[in-house]
């Protein structure tokens, strides 16, 4: 004989969990916005927009440019 178990969650419990998680989601979103607004991120985005041919024309490599932009912050 087989038994089927079902779990039901009430809307009050789901609403309470959402209420508890709201500040953490807001904090995470704020941290992402701060990171994307940084000068380093702008330079990395500019580098990503360039083609390898453009970099070769300038006589630089993508890896070299990342090292230049991130400096001592990079983990090689």
- Calculate what percentage of the chain has a pLDDT beyond 70: 79
- Please tell me what DSSP assigns to residue 53: H
d(CA 73, CA 67): 9
- The mean pLDDT value for 23-38 works out to 90
pLDDT at 36: 82
Average confidence score pLDDT of the chain: 84
Whether 9 has a pLDDT exceeding 80, the answer reads no
Residue 54: CA atoms inside 13 Å, Cβ hemisphere, count? 8
């Amino acid at each position: 004989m087989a038994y089927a178990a079902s779990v039901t969650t009430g809307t009050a419990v789901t609403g309470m969990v959402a209420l508890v998680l709201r500040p953490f989601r807001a904090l995470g979103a704020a941290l992402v916005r701060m990171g994307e607004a940084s000068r380093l991120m702008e330079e990395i985005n500019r580098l990503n927009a360039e083609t390898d041919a453009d970099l070769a024309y300038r006589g630089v490599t993508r890896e070299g440019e990342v090292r230049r932009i991130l400096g001592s912050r990079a983990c090689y």
